[in-house]
Each structure stands twice: as structure tokens, then as C-alpha cells.
Amino acid sequence: MRKPLIAGNWKMYKTVSEAAAMLNDFKAKVADVKDAEIVICPVYTSLVEAVKVTKGSNVMIGAQDVYWEKEGAFTGQVSPQMIKDVGCTHTLIGHSERRQYFGETNETVNKKVKAALASGLIPIMCVGETLAEREKGNTFNVVESHTAGGLAGLSAEDARKLVIAYEPVWAIGTGKTATPAQAEEVHKFIRGVLEKLYDKNTAESMRILYGGSVKPENIGDLMSQANIDGGLVGGASLKADSFAQIVKFKI
């Protein structure tokens, strides 16, 4: 059985004090949740306080990105070791906004995934197509390229440690959501890619999250699909009430 994982990506929102206030409220609302893992990814400046506030709770903290070098003259970058030292357990890698605005590629995603794993962080590796790519019928080609490229050179043992998040870019922040059937189709395809890259056991054990306008109203329908193992939540993770409702989804 794959344990559901619900991750919140706060993107570039919340000051340190705002993050602390939300997390104090949120952790109380989800304290009784045992059947799902919970991760929240604030901005770098809030990570220390976020870890402090959630210590001893069932809420884990992750970073939104990571660099592949341990240290050096890389102004503005943060290493996996630094993120791990703060107390984070996870890191997002390859989010569509990183690809769109900051030049992320399959090759840099792969470097980051390997570096994160080597430091003991759990990567949440994002894959997904744009609206133009979907309309041209390239969804499966893009998703396979992102998946295989990000995992290049990883053993099955290492691959099993990470999480994949499918985020159709056309559904992020647009209010549009892939239907459960559309999402399931791609999740099933990704699992097939994993089986081709590794083996059936590895493919069946890896968690694949759906990200793209996940809300309290649609999380149950999404989670009822056989190959959807959780959600990567954007806007709805910024408020304690709505994110708690998503975490407490009922199929």
C-alpha cells in the first residue's frame, strides 16, 4: 500500500511571521491525521521557523528548490546539506515555474535529484506538460521525457526513495483542473514508464502526486483513482482551513 502524501507549495507567499501563524493553526487542525503524510514547502527564509513551529507534530517541512553543489561560489543558491541541516525532510525539484522562468531542464533536475538523495532529502520531482504541448498531443512524450530525464542514472533503490508529482501546467493557478480521468490516465502512464525504466515492484511502490488546482472540492475524486497517491497543492495550501480539509480528504 502506498501511503498518501499531501504536499503544500507556498511558492513566493508568506513572511516568517505569517508562516508561523498559519502553521500553528494548521498543525492543530490536522493533529489527528494518521493515514496520510503531510509536507509544507515555504520560502527559504521561513524554513528555520517552520521547522521550529512544527517540531513534534505530524507536519514535515520541505524546500521549494535545491542546488546540486555542496558549497561554493554560487550566489543565491542553497545546497541540500544546508536544507537538511535546517531540519527539512523533503524538497521540490523541477517545478514547472522553475522550468518556465528559471531555465530548469531535465539535466539540472537530474543533478538536483541525485544531490538531494545523497544528502538524505526526499525529492518531490515534478513533471508535466503545458497547454500547447497537450493541444499538440505531446502530453505523453513530454511526461516521459521529464520522468526518464530526471531519473537518469538512478538505481531502482534510489528511485523508490523519491516522489513524483504530475502537474499539468495548464491547470496550475488557472482554476482549471484535469478531470480525475485525465489525471489518472497520465498517472497510469507514468507508472508504466517507471516499470519500463526499472521493474514492476519499483513502479508499484513509488508515489505519484497530482498537482494542479487541487481544492477541498476535488481532492476526494482525485484520490479515488487507482494511481493517484496524493496532491501537490498550491493556493489552497496557504490557508489552514482549506489545506486541513484537503489533508482530511474522504474518498
Residue 90 annotated to the active site:
no
The catalytically annotated residue of 129, 167, 184, 187 is 167
Q: Say how far residue 115 (Cα) sits from the centre of its chain.
A: 17
Please tell me the distance from the alpha carbon of residue 117 to that of residue 242, in angstroms, as a whole number. 31
Please tell me the distance from the alpha carbon of residue 219 to that of residue 240, in angstroms, as a whole number. 16
List CB contacts of 28: < 8 A, sequence separation 6 or more: none
Residue 167 annotated to the active site:
yes
List CB contacts of 91: < 8 A, sequence separation 6 or more: 41, 62, 63, 64, 65, 66, 80, 83, 112, 116, 121, 122, 123, 124
The catalytically annotated residue of 49, 90, 95, 104 is 95
Q: Which of 125, 153, 127, 123 is nearest to 142 (CA)?
A: 127
Pull the grid cell for residue 127.
513533471
Residue 84: exposure state from Cβ atoms within 10 A (0-12, 13-18, ≥19): middle
Amino acid letter, 61 = I
126 near 96, Cβ under 8 Å? yes
**Owner of C-alpha cell 512524450:** 141
45 near 16, Cβ under 8 Å? yes
62 near 52, Cβ under 8 Å? no
Q: What positions carry a catalytic annotation? A: 95, 167
